[in-house]
Structure 1
């Protein structure tokens, strides 16, 4: 099946260069994740036509829309794209019905048919009774649904969502995420979700593309990404400690002062990952089964769900999760020395 989006997005902005290959299949939802400044917004703007490519190409449903080498560029209003912006950008002087109809009018529909289709879309997102309401009369979740209806009403080949849930409170976000998931499932075209929230990406997307410093550092489905992170950012995103080293059988040397015993035999460059919950803390060097033990110093403590997240300095920086009772028993405090221990069976080792 031919991709809806076939792109190589190259954009130069001063010293920063975005260089991201991207393909999205019909009906597929791809999440673009990365830290601040990674290039996510630049990629979205390039797809929407708000930022011309410096090089590369963008083909939507077999149609060239941006190919700098041939001096071909299609303006935003002529691209088969719908966009839901982070702050929704609803027109404050128009009611919900006319906000949705606006995109249809821009695509050539007459006023009557545009308003009829807009009404159908408002019904579809559960806002038919709010058709006459202005944006200031809508809740955050309602405004998001109006923006989504406006984007989908034009039957876009590509739907772009820029942090579509970021402006919502936690409760509204939960409900709206579930509704959005249903609408994305029903959308026959491609969808690209730009977000920094791993939960939004894991719930809504079929595939994740991780961008750092303008480059793709990892991509795959959620299970692949969470099982085998390849950068510190991705490891933090999925809640794992991650180290790179050199493997020799069941041992991976990650630092001059630390070699970790691992369950998976490997040779050569390797990653080792384990969750904070796998790290046990002891007031003195433990005896018994743990093969991986090292001295550490507590660098910080913070609440993490029902537990405490302990940040440790030592041969390697590591995060450990302990219960409040264990923390009290150990008398944990910043600057206090402890011993960290991780069983080899709790580690994951894989080629770098």
Structure 2
């Protein structure tokens, strides 16, 4: 937990851009990695730019280590080059005319370190990144994973109080991404400053971050560790992110009225406004109404079928819209096609119910 004396990030970012307003509070402790997650247009990039000093706040503040970097009401503004912040951009933005060594040495040189000492520091960072043999190579001679590590070394070489990572793995292919994610996790574990990871990839966030902040339409909609976020999503975006069907409804004992009309049986007693969630794997499909044990059963129409890992994800319209995951063999037996009428079922014991507040 941070305190007012911690050398950490304490920011209230208020930025007006036409009809869009970012209004976001961020606190990141030393050594902590926080992921800022959200759909396109949520305000993630705007937040990163204001922290880096590439855009100004409309109101609020950016305070790092107890020092104000941007506070409009006091007319405080510290330019980008004077902020103790390292940035790894999505496309890395390495200087194409400089070697890997001189790219990394650039930061220390800008901070007044002489050329020889800066290059010695850079060589040490490249060695830590496993790139000592690539010191003389230009960016065009590096692979995507190597370029990413050079960019990270360049950002860390200035010993930043805050490290900003803007979609750092997005430009990599799947195999390189896997290896580089593991490398990045190790280096972030050694970083003593605060780290903010901006990403749209839930796996990057879950693997790399200690805490997740979900933003939609410029505001925080959910915050917590991975277990909390995945167990209790609070918006459709977060539910899709963690692979759950999510509904809001009114609970009365063991029943939740969803959409004002559809009663969903649950296994937990609740009253009042609640969320009810269940995984697509909990949804079973039948060509006609099934008999048997009591369960939630309703008619539905297939609106789409997509491959999802080893299974097929079937989108269903009906009293409640729902996603179902079934095996290709089951789909073949059911002869599933878009527009087809089916029956969907979910056992009450497969549902998870929790209050909308708290």
Q: Tell me the TM-score normalised to structure 1 length.
A: 0.99
SS across alignment from 2:70: strand
Residue in 2 that maps onto 1:203: 207
State how far apart, in whole Å, the 1-side matches of 2:295 and 2:131 are: 59
Runs of 4+ in 1 over 6 A off after TM superposition: none
Tell me, yes or no, if structure 1 residue 275 matches structure 2 residue 298: no
Query: Who is 1:65 aligned against?
Result: 69
| Correspondence 1:219 to 2:223 | yes
Report what 2:317 is aligned to: 313
Assess, with a 3 A threshold, how the Cα gap between structure 1 residues 290 and 302 changes in structure 2: closer, same or farther. farther
1:296 aligned to 2:300?
A: yes
Partner of 1:53: 57
* Separation (CA, whole Å) in 2 of partners of 1:249 and 1:30: 38
1:32 partnered with 2:36 = yes
Matched, 1:119 2:119: no
Deviations 1:285-326 (A, max 9, x none): 111124211100000111111111000000111000011111
Separation (CA, whole Å) in 1 of partners of 2:193 and 2:337:
53
1:93-115 deviation line (CA, Å, top 9, x unaligned)? 00000000001111111111100
Q: Which residue of 1 aligns with 2:94?
A: 90
Structure 1 residue aligned with 2:172: 168
Is 1:154 paired with 2:142?
A: no
Q: Residue 141 of structure 2 corresponds to which residue in structure 1?
A: 137
Other-structure match for 1:264: 268
1:173-229 CA distances to partner (integer Å, 9 max, x unpaired)?
Answer: 000000000000000010000000000000000000000000000000000000000
1:290–1:341 contact (8 Å) kept in structure 2: no
Shift of 1:257: 3.5
8 Å contact from structure 2 (residues 249, 260) kept in 1: no
- The alpha-carbon deviation at position 152 of structure 1 amounts to 0.3
Aligned partners of 1:273, 1:54: CA distance in 2, in Å? 38
Question: What CA deviation, in whole Å up to 9, does each residue of 1:251-291 have, x standing for no partner?
Answer: 10002441111122111111010000000001111111242
> Within the alignment, does 1:284 sit opposite 2:283 as a pair?
no
Q: What residue number does 2:335 align with?
A: 331
Aligned partners of 1:351, 1:218: CA distance in 2, in Å? 14
Task: Show the counterpart of 2:236.
Answer: 232
The answer on whether the counterparts of 1:290 and 1:342 sit within 8 Å (CA) in structure 2 is no
Using the alignment, how far apart are the partners of 2:197 and 2:57 within structure 1? Answer: 20
Q: For the residues of structure 2 that align with 1:11 and 1:290, how far apart are their CA atoms?
A: 52
**What count of residue pairs does the alignment treat as equivalent?**
352
Aligned mates of 1:161, 1:130 — CA distance in 2: 23
- In structure 2, the residue matched to 1:180 is 184
* Cross-structure match for 1:79: 83
| SS of the residue 2:254 aligns to | strand
